[in-house]
Amino acid sequence: MNGTDQTHHPDRVWSVAAHLDDILARIHPPAPVKRQLLDAQGCVLAEDLTVPLSLPPFDNSSMDGYAVRAADVAAATEAAPTALTVLGDVAAGSGALPTVGPGQAARIMTGAPVPPGADAVVPVEWTDGGSGRGPAATMRAHSAAPQDAAGEVRVHHPATAGAHIRRAGSDARAGEGALPAGTVLGPTQLGLLAALGLDAVTVHRRPRVVVLSTGSELVPPGEPLGPGQIHDSNSFQLTAAARAAGALTYRVGAVADDAEALRATLEDQYARADVLVTSGGVSVGAYDVVKETLTDLAAEHGQVEFRKLAMQPGKPQGFGLIGPDRIPLLALPGNPVSSYVSFELFVRPVIRTLMGHPEVHRRTVRARVTAPLGSSPAGKRQFLRGSYDPVAGTVAPVGGSGSHLIRAMARADALIVVPEDVTEVPADATVDVIPLGPC
Ligand code: AMP
Ligand code: MG
């Protein structure tokens, strides 16, 4: 420390890392909640889960066939099949089981408990299907109308002890770890929880992110443009990005550059938002009402600060906590490329932190640029759009550095990072790349 507090100095230029650290230090994940399985999809597990009951819970057959004593069929061959007396059927879900003695078998279905006495299952294909009927006919008869298979079966292939038996606990044993805290719950994890008999789990809530655009020039897509108007793309782009990051989202749409309208809209959203994201109105233009309005709102409750960042695009950024509940608010610049890059750098980590996600930051990889990058401003970290080829380890620049280049951004799948102290990047140089995948 040099004795002067630079943190809130109005002329301070913030680095990307310092701004992000400051934001993350001031947000707090809410307490975990208990959720029914399907309501927990996409959430992060907040508890270490132990296996309450072994999987499978009992020894069961992995085939349709006959439960036998392996010793009985040890000598069975095609030419000299072993004949066994069939005691009856054991279907999946059977409770009362016959005891298989020497010379005996029980017809058994996949998933059915292995009856006492039996130590192997002979697949139906290794038999005559029982009582002289072909195997296909036997199984068809069973599935159409269950009937007792008592009679005789000829086995023409030996089975070793344990063959085609799925042992109790062979998947997971009671008391072992099922899933650790921090696991993102997708379809297979939810399937496991259900298999373990759990109908609800403790998870981190997915944050509710409210997105609104500001600008009197903005018209919703689907409506014709008047003179000087453009379609509101940011609210769609940012809502989709928040959803892809794991948030529950509400797109409010565009609000005019009018302090009263903006204030009323923001206040309306307090009740439903865990995070507020605005775009536009944070630079120094005459109609940049976001700054003014947020500063007023913050004066009532909370605090909001507008900063200059050493980055391009995305120099002006606002961050604060507003409303009676001190909701984190990120005010992003309006240019579509700036707002998206700002989202990736600052909003996404907020969402991931609030949802308890183990991966807060996107990974950075190294790649070789296929063409020279245009000159980059000294002292600023530049984020260009690129097309990344992980197999070749290359990245091709897509479009220029203009922060209005929406089409180029839609064709890119990565950000190319040019550090603060680098002003020229020749072809074949190795650069940092942030791939922008769906997760
Ligand atoms: P601002 O930050 O409000 O000065 O806006 C900077 C530039 O981004 C202007 O050209 C705006 O028209 C444009 N812009 C602002 N908001 C949006 C939006 N929601 N969708 C598309 N372009 C926008
Ligand atoms: Mg504007």
pLDDT under 50: residue ranges of the chain: 1-4, 132-147
CATH number, residue 70: 2.170.190.11
Q: Are residues 290 and 409 in the same domain?
A: no
Domain total in the chain:
4
Looking at 354, 384, 413, the residue that finishes a domain is 354
Q: Are residues 371 and 335 in the same domain?
A: no
User: CA angle, corner 214, sides to 210 and 219, nearest 5?
Assistant: 105
Q: Are residues 210 and 348 in the same domain?
A: yes
pLDDT for position 381: 98
**Ligand 2 centroid distance, CA of 343 (Å):** 17
> What atom of ligand 1 comes closest to residue 235's alpha carbon?
19
In a domain, 144, yes or no: yes
In a domain, 198, yes or no: yes
Q: Are residues 256 and 382 in the same domain?
A: no
CATH number, residue 430: 2.40.340.10
For ligand 1, atom 7: residue with the closest CA: 335
**Ligand 2 centroid distance, CA of 200 (Å):** 45
229 lines ligand 1 (CB under 6 A): no
Could you say which ligand is closest to the alpha carbon of residue 337?
Answer: 1
Could you say which ligand is closest to the alpha carbon of residue 316?
Answer: 1
233 lines ligand 1 (CB under 6 A): yes
281 lines ligand 1 (CB under 6 A): yes
pLDDT for position 426: 97
pLDDT for position 132: 46
**Ligand 1 centroid distance, CA of 213 (Å):** 8
**Ligand 1 centroid distance, CA of 343 (Å):** 15
| DSSP secondary structure of 334-388 | SSHHHHHHHIIIIIHHHHHHHTT-S--S---EEEEESSPBPP--TTSEEEEEEEE
Category of 25 on φ-ψ map: left (φ > 0), alpha (ψ -120 to 50) or beta:
alpha
**Ligand 1 centroid distance, CA of 236 (Å):** 13
For ligand 1, atom 15: residue with the closest CA: 334
In a domain, 371, yes or no: yes
In a domain, 360, yes or no: no
Q: Are residues 107 and 65 in the same domain?
A: yes
285 lines ligand 1 (CB under 6 A): yes
CATH number, residue 23: 3.40.980.10
In a domain, 171, yes or no: no
From 216, 219, 230, the mutation candidate for ligand 1 (largest count of ligand atoms within 8 A of CB) is 230
283 lines ligand 1 (CB under 6 A): yes
Secondary structure of 148-206 in the HEC alphabet? CCCEEEEECCCCCCCCCEECCCCCECCCCEEECCCCECCHHHHHHHHHCCCCEEEEECC
CATH number, residue 43: 3.90.105.10
pLDDT for position 6: 55
Looking at 319, 354, 389, the residue that finishes a domain is 354
Could you say which ligand is closest to the alpha carbon of residue 228?
Answer: 1
> What atom of ligand 1 comes closest to residue 335's alpha carbon?
8
pLDDT for position 1: 39
pLDDT for position 5: 53
Calpha distance 97→115 (Å, rounded): 6
197 lines ligand 1 (CB under 6 A): no
Residue 396 CB: number of other CB atoms within 10 A? 17
> What atom of ligand 1 comes closest to residue 217's alpha carbon?
12
Could you say which ligand is closest to the alpha carbon of residue 339?
Answer: 1
For ligand 1, atom 17: residue with the closest CA: 334
Q: Are residues 134 and 78 in the same domain?
A: yes
Q: Are 398 and 389 in contact (CB under 8 A)?
A: no
234 lines ligand 1 (CB under 6 A): yes
pLDDT for position 302: 87
Buried b (16+ CB within 10 A) or exposed e, 398-418: bbebebebbebbeebbbbbbb
Q: Are residues 410 and 266 in the same domain?
A: no
Q: Are 304 and 374 in contact (CB under 8 A)?
A: no
pLDDT for position 135: 41
User: CA angle, corner 90, sides to 86 and 92, nearest 5?
Assistant: 155
- What are the tens digits of pLDDT across the range 216-261? 999 999 999 999 999 999 999 999 999 999 999 999 999 999 999 9
216 lines ligand 1 (CB under 6 A): no
Calpha distance 351→237 (Å, rounded): 16
For ligand 1, atom 14: residue with the closest CA: 334
> Could you tell me which residues are beta bridge partners of residue 327?
322
pLDDT for position 283: 87
Calpha distance 28→293 (Å, rounded): 25
In a domain, 4, yes or no: no
Q: Could you give the C-alpha distances from 256 to 270, 289, 339, in angstroms and in order?
A: 19, 9, 18
From 279, 287, 294, the mutation candidate for ligand 1 (largest count of ligand atoms within 8 A of CB) is 279
Q: Are residues 120 and 21 in the same domain?
A: no
In a domain, 200, yes or no: yes
Q: Are residues 72 and 158 in the same domain?
A: yes
> What atom of ligand 1 comes closest to residue 333's alpha carbon?
2
Q: Are residues 43 and 23 in the same domain?
A: no
For ligand 1, atom 8: residue with the closest CA: 335
Q: Are residues 215 and 274 in the same domain?
A: yes
Q: Are residues 288 and 407 in the same domain?
A: no
In a domain, 174, yes or no: no
Domain residues for the domain of 389 are 365-435
Record the pTM.
Answer: 0.89
